[in-house]
Amino acid sequence: MSLACPTLTERQAIATARQNTKLCVPLAWGALTLTGADAQSFLQGQLSCDMKLVSAEQANLGCLLNLKGRIEASVIVIASADGYALLMPQEQIASVKARLAKYGAFSKVSISAATYRIEGLLGSKALPDGLLSTPYAVLASAGSAYVRLPGLQRGLKISDTAVLGDDTPSALAAWQAEAIASG
């Protein structure tokens, strides 16, 4: 999406997509998995979030900072069966993996790229029943995990299967507009 102001037609398409009661948008996101005996303590030292708060029912937002305290990457941390997954935009995967691998050599941790498919959910019927309204609440259901994001009706669906969502520009623009509106 360009930084130019959208035309009236584009704004109307965005507004329609935002009002859609069930919008599923394939996102250009990826994940890194961290496993091993030291995964939690290693991430506690690398990310800005409290890893003790991450559980099967609760994800957390964290940042990878450089030595000057500037954000290099923003990630959503979720617990997996044998460690943790860091969800982030695809273009950040390589640099985050390289940075973590540099320090991971001193810990009992294994870092690898995951093959998860990540979909943005938007709308009153997009999120599954049973997902708490607390930001970053997690619900595992039928081979997928759902994460509630801040905002009224936003979330992520993480699965191993192909994403079949709405990949139109107006759907992605609606997802991005809601992300901005949600802070």
The pLDDT tens digits of the residues spanning 7-65 come to: 777 767 666 655 556 888 889 899 999 999 999 999 999 999 999 999 999 999 999 98
Helix (H) or strand (E) holding 16: helix 8-19
The token duo for 21 is: 């009661």
Beta-bridge partners for 155: 121, 148
- pTM metric for this prediction: 0.84
Instruction: Read off the pLDDT band of 93 (50, 70, 90).
Output: very high
Contact indicator for 89, 29 with CB cutoff of 8 Å = yes
Three-state DSSP state, 101: helix
Amino acid 19: pLDDT: 56
What is the CB neighbour count within 10 angstroms for residue 56?
13
| Mean pLDDT computed over 56-79 | 92
Three-state DSSP state, 83: strand
| Mean pLDDT computed over 64-78 | 90
Contact indicator for 164, 171 with CB cutoff of 8 Å = no
